[in-house]
Amino acid sequence: MSERWDTIVIGGGHNGLVAATLLAQAGDRVLVLEARERLGGLAAGEEFHPGYRTIGVDHDTTQLRSWVVAKLRLRELGLELESEETPVFSPAPAGNGGGILLWRDAERASPELGDDAASYGEYRAFLARLAPFVRRALDRVPVDISEQKIGDLWTLARTALGLRMLGRSDMMELFRIGPMCVADWLREWFTSDRLNALLAGPAVYGGYTGPWSPGTNANLLLHECFAGPGVKGGGPALVAALERAARDAGVEVRTAAPVQSIQMEGDAVTGVRLEGGETVTAARIAAACNPRHTLLDLLPAERLSLRLEHGISHFRSRGTTAKVHLALTAYPSFACRPDLTAAHIRIAEGIDPLERAFDPVKYRRFGDDLALDVRVPTVSEADLAPQGHHVLSVGVHFVPYELDGGWTDEARSALLEAVLTRLERYAPEVRSLVAGSETLTPADLEARYGLAGGQIHHGEHGLDQLFVRPTPECARYATPIAGLYLCGGGSYPGGGLTGAPGALAVERMRS
C-alpha cells in the first residue's frame, strides 16, 4: 500500500515551498509534487542559451515579505538581502537629454528631478506614512464578514482604528486615491511625464489595463508600500533558501511529478493521481498551482457547484506580458548616458505612450512601442554569463495571449524584432551584441509554467480580484471541497514573489 501523507502540496513554486515548510514545522508529514524538473516555478533560474542563465522569469524580488523571511528563518539558511538600493533608469533616445536615474531615496533622487524634486520628497514621505498601516492591514487572512465571528470583527475594528490613526488628512486621501487611475494621481504630483511613466510601470505590468484605467492606482500603492530590499542572487537564491528550509523541516519533494487529478471520496479529497497512473493519498491537498487549473482541470468533473464553476471560469486571467531573455557579449551602453551601467531599466517615454502600448492588446495585437521592464542581473551576478558578457531579462508589456493569427514562429520572431528595435532606440549597439535569445509569449508562459491564460499573477490584479480572490467561495484559501485548499498567487493577496499566500493559507489551515 502506498504511503499516506497529512498534506500534499501541488506545485513547488515559492508559495508551495513556503506552505509546505510551515505545515511540516507544525508537525504535518508533507509531500510536494512539482510538475517540472526543478523547483521554484516562476522564480527558478534556467539556462536559456549555452552558458547564460536567467534569474527566474520574474526578476523582481522586492515584494518578498520580511515576516515570511523571519518565520522561515531564511536568513539563517543563507538568504541575503541587498543592502544597497538598485535605482531604476528611464533612458531617453539619443539626443533627447539624459533620461532619469530614479532612487527611492528622495535625497539621492533630487539632482535627477529638476522642478519635481520637492514633490518627490513629499510623495515618498506620504507613502512612508501609509506603508505601516497598509502592511499591517493587508498581510493577514481576509476576514469573513458574513459569519460575524468575534475574531473577524476584532480584526475589522483594529483595521478601522489603524486607519483612523493615520490622521484625518491621510485617511481621507487614502479613500480618495485608492480607486483612481494611476495617471491622474501621479499627474497631481509631478510635471515630468517620463517620471510619471517610470513610476506607473508596476501599476499596469501584467494587467489588462493602461495607466488611464480606473483602479490602477491601488496597484501602485500596494507595490510601493510593500517594496523592500531585493534578494541577492534573485529568484534562484530565494528558491535555494526555501528548498533548504523545506528539507530541514522534513518535507519530501518530488520533481517531474505532474499531478493529473485530485482524488475524492464522497465530499472530501483523498489524494492525487499523477500522470503515469501512480496514486498518492493524503488527508489534505494544498494547491499552490493555478486556481483555475486546480478547480477546473484537476478536480473530478461536476464536483463544483454551478456558482463556483461560473466564478472560477470568470476569474479574469488575461495574459499581457511576454518575456525575452537576451545573451549579450557586452553591456549595451545607453546613448544618453554611455558611462552608466544600470541594472534596472524601464522603457516608456510618458503616460500616453504607456497607454498606447496597452491599446493594441484589446484588438489581439502588440504595438511597436512596447513598454519594457529590463533587468541586467549580470551587473551584480557575473557568473550568470561568460566573463564580461551579460544577460538582459526583459519583461515585455503589452502582448496579447490570444494573438490575431496565433502565436506562430513568425509571430514570435516579430515580437523579438519589436523588442530589439525598441531597445536600439536607446542602446544603439544592442543588436550587434546578441549571442542568443529566448522569447516566451504569454501562451508559452502558460504552457511552461501553468499560468492560466498566460496571466503572470495567476489572475489579474484588480480591486475586485483582491479581497475576493479567486472567488467568494474560496477567498479564504479553503474551498467547498473538504480538505482542499488554495495557496498560490491566485489567492489573497495575489501574485509576486511575496510568500504571503502560501504563509497565510497555512494560518487558515491551522485555525
Ligand X SMILES: Cc1cc2nc3c(=O)[nH]c(=O)nc-3n(C[C@H](O)[C@H](O)[C@H](O)COP(=O)(O)OP(=O)(O)OC[C@H]3O[C@@H](n4cnc5c(N)ncnc54)[C@H](O)[C@@H]3O)c2cc1C
**Chain positions contacting ligand X, by CB under 6 A:** 10-16, 33-36, 41-43, 57-58, 60, 63, 205, 258-259, 288-289, 293, 321, 323, 395, 445, 449-450, 456-458, 488-489, 495-497
Q: Which of 37, 138, 4, 495 is nearest to 288 (CA)?
A: 495
Q: Which is nearer to ligand X, 58 or 139 (CB)?
A: 58
- Sort strands 268-274 and 279-287 into parallel, antiparallel or unpaired: antiparallel
Q: Render 298-325 in DSSP notation, one character per residue.
A: ISPTT-S-HHHHHHHHTS-----EEEEE
Q: Give min distance, CB of 416 to ligand X, in A.
A: 15
Q: Which is nearer to ligand X, 57 or 92 (CB)?
A: 57
Q: Which is nearer to ligand X, 58 or 381 (CB)?
A: 58
Place of cell 516579430: 414
Q: Give min distance, CB of 33 to ligand X, in A.
A: 5
Burial 219-255 (b: 16+ CB within 10 A, else e): bbbbbbbbbbbbbbbbbbbbbbbbbbbbeebebbbee
Q: Give min distance, CB of 255 to ligand X, in A.
A: 9
Residue 362 identity (one-letter amino acid): K
Q: Edge to edge, what strands does the sheet with 390-397 contain?
A: 100-102, 88-90, 344-347, 371-375, 390-397, 321-328, 434-440
Q: Which is nearer to ligand X, 323 or 389 (CB)?
A: 323
Q: Give min distance, CB of 481 to ligand X, in A.
A: 16
Q: Which is nearer to ligand X, 315 or 336 (CB)?
A: 315
Q: Give min distance, CB of 62 to ligand X, in A.
A: 8
Name the DSSP class of 99.
-
Q: Which is nearer to ligand X, 138 or 163 (CB)?
A: 138
Q: Which of 165, 132, 199, 209 is nearest to 455 (CA)?
A: 209
Q: Which is nearer to ligand X, 350 or 496 (CB)?
A: 496
Q: Which of 208, 205, 184 is nearest to 196 (CA)?
A: 184
Place of cell 472530501: 268
Q: Give min distance, CB of 445 to ligand X, in A.
A: 5
Q: Which is nearer to ligand X, 233 or 489 (CB)?
A: 489
Phi and psi dihedrals of 396, rounded to 5? Answer: -110, 115
Q: Give min distance, CB of 375 to ligand X, in A.
A: 9
Q: Give min distance, CB of 505 to ligand X, in A.
A: 10
Q: Give min distance, CB of 457 to ligand X, in A.
A: 5
Distance of CA 156 to the CA centre of its chain: 27
CB 80 within 8 A of CB 237: yes
Distance of CA 220 to the CA centre of its chain: 13
Q: Which is nearer to ligand X, 116 or 210 (CB)?
A: 210
**CA separation for the pair 313, 329 (Å, rounded):** 45
Residue 260 identity (one-letter amino acid): Q
